[in-house]
Amino acid sequence: MFDEWNALADRVAGHAQNYLDGLTRLAGGEGGNAILPLLLVEVAQVSLAGTQLAAVQDVILQGNFEPALSEDPDIDPLRTALAARLGPVDDYAEVFDPYKDTAVTPYRLSDDLTAVAADLIHGLRHYRAGRPLEALWWWQYSYFNTWGNHAGAALRALQALVAHTRLDVAEETTTV
């Protein structure tokens, strides 16, 4: 089982790093006007890692104890850069839990995207410290508790935005 856990940790770490790299590049201005579909790709790809974590048994740490890490890095500059890039489409409405809380809640894409990043970074810190099981535990726990919801909400919002840009166009006139 140890080899299977390590293989899963390697896959999730790869997805996490790809997401962080892509998000950072897009926040920095890469992608130009294609930021929305590119963000959609980034969120969809990291969501695959989350679904893999959801499909395996619960990761339980020995002694049910997470080794301490120093403070996680400040990612507020990333959130601020994303908010600036997203501008008027940063704010949207979402139903937090369609089974328990059906009230519409205001959300921000920049907050969602960086909440995912924060949880992935925390797990990557365990992974890079040579603790793949701790990384998996954190990613799985935080997927169910935090980043899975934020990724899902962002995915729905981004898909809607991309669909609107493609479908809500003025009718073209044709000349014969």
pLDDT recorded at residue 158:
97
Q: Is 32 left (phi over 0), alpha (psi -120 to 50) or beta?
A: left
- The number of helices, as runs of H, and strands, as runs of E, in the chain is 6, 2
What percentage of the chain reaches a pLDDT higher than 70?
Answer: 90
Residue 50 has pLDDT above 60, yes or no: yes
Per-domain residue ranges of the chain: 2-167
What average pLDDT does this structure show over 105-127? 96
pLDDT recorded at residue 168:
74
pLDDT recorded at residue 91:
96
Scanning the structure block, which residue is given the tokens 């934020």?
A: 150
pLDDT tens-digit map of 13-49: 999 999 999 999 999 999 999 999 999 999 999 999 9
CATH topology of domain 2-167: Four Helix Bundle (Hemerythrin (Met), subunit A) (1.20.120)
pLDDT recorded at residue 34:
95
